[in-house]
A = this chain, B = another copy of it.
Amino acid sequence: MQSRTPAPRATGRPRSAAADAAILAATREALVELGWSKLTLGDVATRAGVAKTTLYRRWAGKNELVVDAVAELFDELRLPDRGTLAADIEGVVLQFAAILARPEAKSGLMAVVAESIRDDALRERIRESIVDRQKRLVLEGRARAQARGELPPETDPLEATRTVDLIFDMVAGAVVHRTLVSAEPADEEWVRNFTQVLLTGLAGTP
Contact = CB atoms under 8 A, between A and B. Distances in A.
Contacts of A123: 183
Interface size class of A (residues with CB under 8 A): 35 or more
A5 interface: no
A121 interface: no
Given A151-B203, A169-B182, 14 more contacts: A107-B114, A107-B117, A110-B113, A114-B180, A117-B180, A123-B183, A126-B181, A150-B203, A152-B206, A162-B193, A168-B182, A173-B177, A198-B201, A200-B203
Interface string A13-48: 000000000000000000000011100000000000
A172 interface: yes
Given A110-B117, A204-B201, A181 B172 contact: yes
Given A110-B113, A117-B107, A118-B107, A182 B165 contact: yes
A181 to B, nearest CB: 6
A167 B35 CA distance: 29
A143 interface: no
A158 interface: no
A127 to B, nearest CB: 8
A46 B117 CA distance: 25
Interface string A127-139: 0000100000000
A107 B111 CA distance: 11
Interface string A170-206: 1011111110111110000010011001111111101
A166 interface: yes
A205 to B, nearest CB: 10
B180 A177 contact: no
A87 B172 CA distance: 24
B167 A202 contact: yes
Contact of A169 (B111, B151, B178): B178
Contacts of A151: 202-203
Interface string A69-86: 000000000000000010
